[in-house]
Structure 1
Amino acid sequence: MFKAYTKEFSYNIKLSVPVILGMLGHTFVQLADNIMVGQLGTAELAAVSLGNSFVFIAMSLGIGFSTAITPLVAEADGAENKQDAKNALKHGLVLCTILGLSLFGLILVAKPLMYAMKQPEVVVELAMPYLDLVAFSLVPLIVFQAFKQFSEGLSQTKYPMYATIVANIINIVLNYLLIFGNFGFPKMGIIGAAIGTLVSRILMVLYIWYILKSKEKFNYYVTGFNFRKIEQKVIRKIIALGFPSSLQMFFEVAIFTGAIWLSGVLGKNAQAANQIALNLSSMTFMFGMGLGIAAMIRVGNQKGLGNFKELRRIAQSIFFLTLLLEIVFAALFLLGRHWFPALYLDVNDVANMADNTEVLIMAAELLLVAAFFQISDGIQVVVLGALRGLQDVRIPTIITFIAYWLIGFPVSFYLGLYTPFKSTGIWIGLLIGLSASAIMLYLRFNYLTKKLIVG
């Protein structure tokens, strides 16, 4: 029985590993920033957390929207229709550029909200200038996403990975030079981290375009665009898929952002601990995201071929692989919950010893809860990928809203602010919301695929 699923593991891993490494690259930018900024103090780490909370919300909309390109390209590739695949990329680039600029503008308008959020004043003052630069980096990031999703739609997952690795190396080097003022560069603190993020993301776009253009099999797709000829039909199709997909990602990222803000109400140490646990959880989440994109690609291909029995079997093999992987991550979080947070802070800093010790204790408690929601988080994101491959996006959007905002967030809010659980209570709410999402999304997938097989 299991062989029908396990025989797909090697191809699923081959397809998803470059995606996972590429997704980890986005998170690694934040990891590098957090670890380096954490050496400056807990207030600086909390400021980066607060600034990024705004950016994460906007980024979720942009990345979610761009995922509409992948199933369209995968279906066109399955049907051997090159023109439709190129059209999906061209119109996706136009929409992603407009969206990136719009989100940058929205963040600038929303900045004053920081003062109304009951966050520590020192944290807000540090976060303000940092946010300007990181918000602008969303424009190249979302344009990059259009190229990334297109490449993945053709089952070519390694090129976005290369671009992300190059960007990370540039970001780390610039962080080292500009945060601490090494080798004669100015010591800019968290502003240096923001500059590193912006420059690395601009170069990431240029690199992926160059690498795709230089490959003969991609040259047709990424050159000779006529941007004066925009087809309303293609625009409408991408928006019809992209807008609900962006809302799905927004609902999930927003509940984690809500956790950052709730932690800020509890103080800078609670916020710093939350940032550490969130950053570690984001790293493992990218494995689920990568497998979700593999599910989207393979389901999209089978949809193009009209083979629904194979579609269901292949998707379930990816679900099974994800379950096994997330159990491993849950064990790692349980075993390493005291050690991992120590990577983020200077434990020998005598001046900040009391703050750092409190942050380490709180972060370990949060990782205990995070260990359990690894499984729910991985399953829900991979099933969501399979549903996107089926181009079923509206009902899953409603499901994610119910799971995160009608079930999860009220629990986080109550347990975090009105019970002794405090930060741990916030994360218990996240666990409940993710579990509800995983169950309901799988029931949706099960219903749809059985219906398609019966015809």
Structure 2
Amino acid sequence: MVLSQYTKEFKYNLNLAAPVMLGMLGHTFVSLVDNIMVGQLGATELAAVSLGNSFVFIAMSLGIGFSTAITPLVAEADTEKNFKKGKSAFKHGLFLCTVLGIFLFLMLLLAKPLMYIMDQPEEVVALAIPYLDLVGFSLIPLIIYQAFKQFSDGLSLTKYPMYATILANIINVVLNYLLIFGKFGFPEMGLVGAALGTLISRVIMVFFLWWLLRAREKAKAYVTNIKIFVLESKMLKTIISIGFPSAMQMFFEVAIFTAAIWLSGTLGQNPQAANQIALNLSSMTFMVATGLSVAAMIRVGNQKGLQNFTELRRIAMSIFFLGIILAVISALLFAGLHKVLPTIYVNLDDPINAVDTREVVAIASTLLLAAAIFQISDSLQVVALGALRGLQDVKIPTLITFVSYWGIGFPVSYYFGKEEMLGSLGIWLGLIAGLTSAAILLYFRFDYLTKKLIKFETTDVSQLDKQ
């Protein structure tokens, strides 16, 4: 293997992935800001945000996962110079994402009573319910935004969603400060203020991204004159056939992290708050890997359109390699700063909650060491999923994610996460087991498919030469 044939792709891949990374980090930053600001109110409030977001994250995973179907279809059409096919993929994807966003919000409303039967602290549930109402409603603009984002990514215009996310974050920070703490004459709304800030910022994010794309010559014809209700069953079926398995892949992964939140809640509000801190920090590094996953999806989709499978494999392997390097850096940061990072989320000067605060920081510090261990497997599995989506291979990967997270990971979390066993650390050992299993199996799947495609490609060329 000549290393340079992979490393020479790093610059292009990073240029393509960096705006996606920053955009995805922006989504996580909304949660980070909510957690840090709400964390100043106390461990109970932080646990309530954790519980409310656990429901939202499950719904969000379905919406974001489904929307990824748009990217490989648009990327393939863009390479083929087929405008009609690309606009059809975007229009039908936008319609389906809008319907899905409304459906998921309604499902969240129906799911609220589950909080009372999940063995969660009563004071946490009481605060989480009103927070969930508004954050749940913000799913509608968020998933509509995802349709625009995935379309933009498919055209390799990855920086525009980043701009929209940056604006949304600035608005969210300002509104959080005003509405959580009641500054400059605004009402002091606590958790509800954080939720309202998130909702408003996401609505603005949708319109701003549309405005940016409308001003770009390459995208203008796609995002204007959209006859949203003039639909074709063939394209609807195509998007659903890719989007539904992709949604389930993301759901299976997010759901096991959500299960970790719920299992932590059975240990008490301090372990739950600590779990939220570690989860929020590890999700930041996951978004970096997600940026590479989108880059893999775009570039693999482009090469699929060109039917150049040898180049497709080389490019994907380069992205895998880059992902591992960045994951090692993240792991070293978590290991080196595991005692420092959790202190960002708590008020160390609060004498009333000093005992609880020390316990939260101690547990979160231990969990960050576990997060450091699974950085490489977490990066590899999400990048491999992106590459497989670029190939429009989604069914077998869906089965792999289910078996990895729920056949392997969850039983480990459930058994070792009991208070008499390893507690919070035991829950995260299950996450390590699930992510590592997924990474290995998904890589093997990509390796098998690309070798098979290259073999057929070589066979076809040799047959043409004989003719």
TM over 0.5: yes
In structure 1, distance between residues paired with 2:102 and 2:336: 43
Residue identity opposite 1:134 in structure 2: V
State whether residues 309 and 450 of structure 2, in contact with CA within 8 Å, keep that contact through their aligned partners in structure 1. Answer: yes
Paired position in structure 2 for 1:144: 145
Paired position in structure 1 for 2:218: 217
Residue 217 (structure 1) shift:
2.1
Identity score, percent: 66
3-state DSSP of counterpart to 2:157:
coil
Paired position in structure 2 for 1:275: 276
Displacement over 3 Å in runs of 4+: none
3-state DSSP of counterpart to 2:266:
helix
Paired position in structure 2 for 1:346: 347
Paired position in structure 1 for 2:201: 200
CA offsets 1:394-431 (integer angstroms, 9 cap, x no match): 00000000000000000000000164310000000000
Paired position in structure 1 for 2:383: 382
CA offsets 1:340-366 (integer angstroms, 9 cap, x no match): 000000011100000000000000010
Paired position in structure 1 for 2:461: none
Is 1:284 matched with 2:281? no
Paired position in structure 2 for 1:325: 326
Residue 83 (structure 1) shift:
1.0
Residue 215 (structure 1) shift:
1.8
CA offsets 1:106-149 (integer angstroms, 9 cap, x no match): 00000000000000000000000000000000000000000000
Residue 163 (structure 1) shift:
0.2
In structure 1, distance between residues paired with 2:55 and 2:243: 21
Paired position in structure 2 for 1:66: 67
In structure 1, distance between residues paired with 2:163 and 2:124: 35
Give the TM-score, by structure 1 length.
1.00
CA offsets 1:301-348 (integer angstroms, 9 cap, x no match): 000000000000000000000001000000000000000000000011
In structure 1, distance between residues paired with 2:139 and 2:228: 22
Paired position in structure 1 for 2:191: 190
Paired position in structure 2 for 1:227: 228
In structure 1, the gaps of 5 or more residues are: none
Paired position in structure 1 for 2:460: none
Is 1:128 matched with 2:129? yes
Matches of residues 272-421 of structure 1 in structure 2 within 5 Å?
Answer: 272-417=273-418, 419-421=420-422
Residue identity opposite 1:242 in structure 2: G
CA offsets 1:69-128 (integer angstroms, 9 cap, x no match): 000000001111111111111101100000000000000000000000000000000000
Is 1:161 matched with 2:158? no
CA RMSD of aligned residues (A): 0.6
Paired position in structure 1 for 2:241: 240
Paired position in structure 2 for 1:107: 108
Residue identity opposite 2:452 in structure 1: K
Is 1:12 matched with 2:13? yes
Count the aligned residue pairs. Answer: 455
Matches of residues 87-106 of structure 1 in structure 2 within 5 Å?
Answer: 87-106=88-107
Residue 229 (structure 1) shift:
1.6
In structure 1, distance between residues paired with 2:210 and 2:177: 27
State whether residues 80 and 306 of structure 2, in contact with CA within 8 Å, keep that contact through their aligned partners in structure 1. Answer: yes
In structure 1, distance between residues paired with 2:211 and 2:369: 44
In structure 2, the gaps of 5 or more residues are: 457-467
Residue identity opposite 1:282 in structure 2: S
3-state DSSP of counterpart to 2:418:
helix
In structure 1, distance between residues paired with 2:164 and 2:227: 25
In structure 2, distance between residues paired with 1:446 and 1:216: 38
State whether residues 101 and 144 of structure 2, in contact with CA within 8 Å, keep that contact through their aligned partners in structure 1. Answer: yes
Residue identity opposite 1:120 in structure 2: P
Residue 228 (structure 1) shift:
3.3
State whether residues 412 and 427 of structure 2, in contact with CA within 8 Å, keep that contact through their aligned partners in structure 1. Answer: yes
In structure 2, distance between residues paired with 1:291 and 1:432: 22
Residue 225 (structure 1) shift:
1.2
Residue 219 (structure 1) shift:
1.1
In structure 2, distance between residues paired with 1:227 and 1:112: 35
Residue 216 (structure 1) shift:
2.2
State whether residues 267 and 419 of structure 2, in contact with CA within 8 Å, keep that contact through their aligned partners in structure 1. Answer: no
In structure 2, distance between residues paired with 1:227 and 1:24: 30
Residue identity opposite 1:116 in structure 2: I
In structure 1, distance between residues paired with 2:273 and 2:419: 20
In structure 2, distance between residues paired with 1:111 and 1:253: 18
State whether residues 327 and 375 of structure 2, in contact with CA within 8 Å, keep that contact through their aligned partners in structure 1. Answer: yes
3-state DSSP of counterpart to 2:247:
helix
